[in-house]
């Protein structure tokens, strides 16, 4: 049986409950140790106000992962990490202990009831695009920035 070819995927990380910095660092460490994750690079951590939600400011980052896992299998990994961190989904855009979103999966486009890639709202969110641009500048179109000027994002650590 042949080996599945590896794909470069991008994962958005965010948290605004508990200790968000520790949550993101813990999630990155767990991802790096996950079978099927061949390599991982992470952006700096950024702080941003909630978008379309209330609550404390978020700490956000983006991770670049190289993996032979399928997009649904990678999503399973991300959701298991969220559950382990105590993620609850009481309502849309609720404050969270950990949020992991599959943003991009290679050049793939996926539309299913469970998963949409590219992430459908990533182009509307500076807290995603600023750390994504740090890792993959060619993935972020300069024309997108003008529409996001009202979303402050600051490098945190």
Q: Cite the active site residues.
A: 87, 96, 99, 101
Q: Which two tokens stand for residue 154?
A: 């600051």
> Looking at residue 60, what DSSP letter applies?
E
Neighbours of 152 (CB within 10 A): 12
Q: Which two tokens stand for residue 148?
A: 């996001």
Burial class for 30, CB neighbours closer than 10 Å (0-12, 13-18, 19+)? middle
Neighbours of 38 (CB within 10 A): 12
> Do you know the residue count of the chain?
157
Cα–Cα distance for residue pair 153/8, rounded to 1 Å = 25
Nearest-Å Rg of the Cα atoms of the chain is: 15
């Amino acid at each position: 049986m042949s080996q599945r070819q590896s794909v470069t995927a991008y994962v958005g990380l965010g948290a605004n409950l508990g200790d968000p910095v520790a949550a993101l660092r813990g999630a990155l460490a767990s991802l790096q140790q996950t079978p099927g994750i061949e390599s991982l690079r992470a952006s700096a951590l950024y702080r941003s106000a909630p978008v379309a939600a209330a609550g404390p400011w978020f700490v956000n980052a983006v991770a670049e992962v190289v993996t032979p896992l399928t997009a649904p299998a990678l999503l399973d990994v991300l959701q298991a990490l969220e559950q382990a961190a105590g993620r609850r989904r009481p309502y849309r855009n609720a404050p969270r202990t950990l949020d992991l979103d599959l943003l991009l999966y290679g050049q793939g486009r996926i539309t299913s009831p469970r998963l949409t890639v590219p992430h459908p709202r990533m182009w509307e969110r500076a807290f995603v695009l600023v750390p994504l641009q740090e890792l993959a500048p060619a993935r972020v179109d300069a024309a997108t920035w003008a529409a996001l000027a009202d979303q402050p994002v600051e490098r945190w650590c």
